Amino acid sequence: MKLIELRRDIEQSLTVGDSYEKIERFLNDRGLLYDFDYHSSRFQAAFDVNSDTYDPDLSNVIVYIYVDNDRRFVKAEVERVYTYI
């Protein structure tokens, strides 16, 4: 899966108002490791390098999925990051 395919997958799979549980299923089904940032009201996700769905082209991609006060899907952003530790 390439970056543009991931964006398209999100657009086709999640719609405004989808539940927190549906978002979690989406992330888990695609081998994404994630946590939820309560201060920003968003999921932050990255690909698990040990997953069967892992693609090296997405190793430096981060996914942000924003939710509203009821924890329902609002929007998503997919970004390529270029940071090293």
pLDDT tens readout for residues 5-26 = 889 999 999 999 999 999 999 9
Q: What are the domain boundaries of the chain?
A: 3-80
Whole-angstrom Cα distance, residue 10 to residue 62?
Answer: 13
**Could you give the percent of the chain with pLDDT greater than 70?**
81
Whole-angstrom Cα distance, residue 54 to residue 37?
Answer: 23
Cα dihedral 10, 70, 32, 15 in deg (nearest 10): -10
What tokens appear for 58 in the block?
């997405």
Whole-angstrom Cα distance, residue 81 to residue 83?
Answer: 6
Whole-angstrom Cα distance, residue 84 to residue 35?
Answer: 20
Whether the predicted pLDDT of 51 surpasses 90: no
Q: What is the pLDDT of residue 53?
A: 61
